[in-house]
Structure 1
Amino acid sequence: MNFISTRDNSPATTLSQAIAAGLAPDGGLYVPETLPSARPLELGSDLADTAALLIAPFFAGDALADALPAICREAFDFPAPMLPLATPDDHVLELFHGPTAAFKDFGARFLAACLTRLRKQEDRPLTILVATSGDTGAAVAAAFHNRPGLRVIVLYPDGRVSPRQAHQLGCFGDNITALRVAGSFDDCQALVKRALNDAALQAQAPMSSANSISLGRLLPQMSYYAHAALAHKRATGEALNFVIPTGNLGNAMAAIIARALGVPLGRIVLATNANDVLPKFFSGADYSPADSAATIANAMDVGAPSNFERLRWLYRGDDAALRAAFTASSVDDGQIRDTIRARYQAHGEVFCPHTATAVKVLQDLRGQGAAGDWAVAATAHPAKFESVVEPLIGRTLEVPPALAGLLARPAHADPIAADYSVFREYVARG
């Protein structure tokens, strides 16, 4: 299978080449030349097995095809359980049982496994650039830590991530560098995209991306939706609907592509925080990226979601069809806090602020008469946001062992201006 750019101005390439590059030369995002046809899909013996079966068509004919089962075993070696919520027919898909307690561990580990296999001993070191609004950077840092021939530069908006997220981002050292940028996530993302498209810099210091613009991140994220939906279908005979908290649209895009491949997913509803570019679009306004605003659900503080390009590609630029297929709702900080407090008081359930946005949207859907079986994607462990969650529930949260281990390490991040010339010099140092 070959892959092309969403902007149709770059040559077709193999999956391995697309994963290694991260971003297409014309600044677009890589997508399959033709999406595999929808087909009956099998539930694997476990999550890794389902992942290998689902993703296999994208790897057809690629240099990594034979290694795909081993890559999936390496990436999907922790669970993604779907558990019932207290409200009838509602569930939560817990995606935070990996080494950094966030859903992004799955995609980051898959990408690291791919790039490690693609590299040759004589290759020059590859620099992985990653902009993060909170969780991506730590997941990538953990996945790539001490892998030979690979260095990672993580950019995050200074003061706009939780204290524990900031500590995670700076606690690895060795081949991982953390930069705290005087700006927003969108500023960080712009720096990364500009560097990846800087031909002279690429020649000096070969680079790739580990953001959700990378196919190596996006494709594996389909797997946990597929595994949950196929298991639910087998058990109940019903399709599973999802509410997915989203910022850069990568996690939701993975579910959307999985459904297009034949996974028995019903409705897919997007939940955002106060950064409401997507809800405005799906309500009929023109797509209009905006400066991001800081919220307590900081990992979704995105004003220009990159994967919107892929979503438009999937619907061939037909915005009317796109709006007919999805809805998106915005949840402000006050509603997030109210949801966390109320669900704990009523049911003993504890959610991170991002998961709580999706729970609030699901509550509203039920109030509007939405029927069927629904699940919320729980994207991060609430203990990563103790400064928000603990005052609302009135108790201390237990910290998962893997997260506790990271928090026990010393951490450091270099301050940097949101200035491309400064960042370029940083990357060029090698």
Structure 2
Amino acid sequence: MNLYSTNKQSPEVSFEEAVFKGLPDDNGLYMPKAIPALSAKFFEGLEDMSFQELALDVTDTLIGDEIGRKDLEKIIYDAMNFPIELHQVEDNIFGLELFHGPTLAFKDFGARFMSRIMGHFLEKKQKEITILVATSGDTGSAVAHGFLGVPGINVVILYPSGKVSEIQEKQLTTIGQNVKALEIDGTFDDCQRMVKQAFLDKELNTVRHFTSANSINIARLIPQSFYYHYAWSMLHSDGKPVFFCTPSGNFGNLCGGLIAKKMGLPIDHFVAATNANHIVPDYLLTEKFQPKPSVKTISNAMDVGNPSNFPRVQALYGGSYDKINRDISGAWYTDAQTSQAMKEVFEKEEYLLCPHSAIGYLGAKDYLKNHAGKTGVFLATAHPAKFYDVVDKVLGGKVEIPEVLKETMAKPKNSVKMEASLDALKSFLMN
């Protein structure tokens, strides 16, 4: 599997090189030079496969030239050792529950897969690496737990002070061991900028070997294609076209679906649903991509003003706006609309949605208004209890906190406060 940089100013690399390098020297993003199609046999037997079986076939098709199938099988079955559930919310609308992993968020798929992939490659190397990652919420806790105790790997997580939920903050600041949390006086975009600057700083890179566990790392992206195959396999038999609505912040999750489609999965359409940070929905209407400072919302994990994975979306379509626009629609919702959806779904269906999943539900519901006869799947990205402060306020005490979260909340927070500058981060990392 050879990968190129979306900026096309860096040499092609192998999958292993891309995983550990994280970011090309030209500040682009690594993308597969070719995305192979899955076989007709795969699709014929898809509905009879377990989630792990289909994930293994997809991974083997993509990177089987670098990791043998037996090793991939061990990686997949160890990383994906938790359930995935499809819940019918109302007629023709299903929620794909991706929050049954250890940190109760969809990021567990990518973080656990990536940590096992790195562990496999590191068995052959004898050196230490530093995972440097920015988080707007769930990435940090998933990465922290996914890499906890992995030999030869240190984890440094940057998160915006006061802009993640209390539970999210506790999940990434109480884990200890090889995980350090930096509380940045700024926004997620500041955290992301600092990480990119550190990757490109030559002095820092002589002292530390960095890689990233953000969705900018290709190893995080690949497993996000698995669950699109799984949901489609469970719903396509009635003959209705299946579309997906993906609540979107950094757009890695949507890229996973687009890769599944490129591999041959007959997904009918995608809806990219955002909150008030609607840079991509605006682009889909105007063809103008205009990053802006992020706006704080109740769906904070999607508070991204410059979605870093968007160049990958463009690369998958050869930069063609018309082709992108044919496959992807945009939608965005205010906090008031998000809260109202959470209330209505609970009152009518007795089903709890986190604010991000509620935006996915709204996007699917609105798309169906003009596209009757299709089946919509929205990605339910996090357990409602992870956003207890928001969900409890909207619904008035209807959320039960799982025991694993209660235990985490009782632990003392341990973070390093830091200004939003490369110099501050560099000083910490050098020492």
Q: Please give the per-residue CA displacement for 1:331-380, whole angstroms capped at 9, x wherever unaligned.
A: 11111111111211222121000001111222222333443111110000
| Corresponding residue of 2:225 | 222
Identify the match of residue 310 of structure 1 among 309, 312, 321. 312
Q: Please give the per-residue CA displacement for 1:71-91, whole angstroms capped at 9, x wherever unaligned.
A: 111111111111111x21111
Describe how 1:25-424 pairs up with structure 2 within 5 A: 25-37=25-37, 39-40=39-40, 41-42=42-43, 43=46, 45-63=49-67, 66-85=70-89, 87-120=90-123, 123-233=126-236, 235-424=237-426
| Counterparts of 1:152 and 1:45, CA distance in 2 | 35
Q: Please give the per-residue CA displacement for 1:175-227, whole angstroms capped at 9, x wherever unaligned.
A: 10011111110100011111112232122110000000011100011001111
Q: Please give the per-residue CA displacement for 1:230-288, whole angstroms capped at 9, x wherever unaligned.
A: 2322x434442111100000001101110111113221111000001011000014111
| Counterparts of 2:279 and 2:240, CA distance in 1 | 32
| Counterparts of 1:240 and 1:155, CA distance in 2 | 37
The alignment of Structure 1 onto Structure 2 pairs a total of residues equal to: 427
How far did 1:66 drift?
4.5
Equivalent position SS for 1:287? coil
Conserved 8 A contact 1:64-1:114? no
Q: Please give the per-residue CA displacement for 1:122-167, whole angstroms capped at 9, x wherever unaligned.
A: 6332100110000000000000111111010010110111111111
Q: Structure 1: which amino acid aligns with 2:220?
A: R
| Corresponding residue of 2:22 | 22
Equivalent position SS for 2:183? strand
Greater shift, 117-126 or 387-396, is seen at: 117-126
| Counterparts of 2:239 and 2:410, CA distance in 1 | 46
Q: Structure 1: which amino acid aligns with 2:34?
A: T
How far did 1:425 drift?
1.4
Equivalent position SS for 2:286? coil
Conserved 8 A contact 1:108-1:210? yes
| Counterparts of 1:165 and 1:174, CA distance in 2 | 18
How far did 1:64 drift?
5.8
| Counterparts of 1:2 and 1:66, CA distance in 2 | 21
TM-score, normalised with respect to structure 2: 0.95
Q: Structure 2: which amino acid aligns with 1:119?
A: L
| Counterparts of 1:136 and 1:230, CA distance in 2 | 27
| Counterparts of 2:64 and 2:203, CA distance in 1 | 33
How far did 1:396 drift?
3.8
| Counterparts of 1:82 and 1:367, CA distance in 2 | 22
| Counterparts of 1:269 and 1:294, CA distance in 2 | 22
| Corresponding residue of 1:4 | 4
| Counterparts of 2:303 and 2:131, CA distance in 1 | 22
| Counterparts of 1:160 and 1:5, CA distance in 2 | 31
TM-score, normalised with respect to structure 1: 0.96
> Where do 5+ consecutive residues of structure 2 fail to align?
none
| Counterparts of 1:59 and 1:369, CA distance in 2 | 36
Greater shift, 194-203 or 298-307, is seen at: 194-203
Equivalent position SS for 2:330? strand
Cα gap change, 1:247 to 1:122, in 2 (>3 Å):
closer
How far did 1:38 drift?
5.6
> Where do 5+ consecutive residues of structure 1 fail to align?
none
Stretches of 4+ aligned residues off by more than 6 angstroms = none
How far did 1:121 drift?
7.5
Greater shift, 54-63 or 275-284, is seen at: 54-63
| Counterparts of 2:266 and 2:124, CA distance in 1 | 43
What RMSD in Å do the two structures reach over aligned CA positions? 1.6
Equivalent position SS for 2:167? helix
| Counterparts of 2:227 and 2:327, CA distance in 1 | 22
Conserved 8 A contact 1:56-1:68? yes
| Counterparts of 1:10 and 1:192, CA distance in 2 | 19
Equivalent position SS for 2:204? helix
| Counterparts of 2:323 and 2:260, CA distance in 1 | 18
Q: Structure 2: which amino acid aligns with 1:115?
A: M
Identity %, equivalent residues? 36
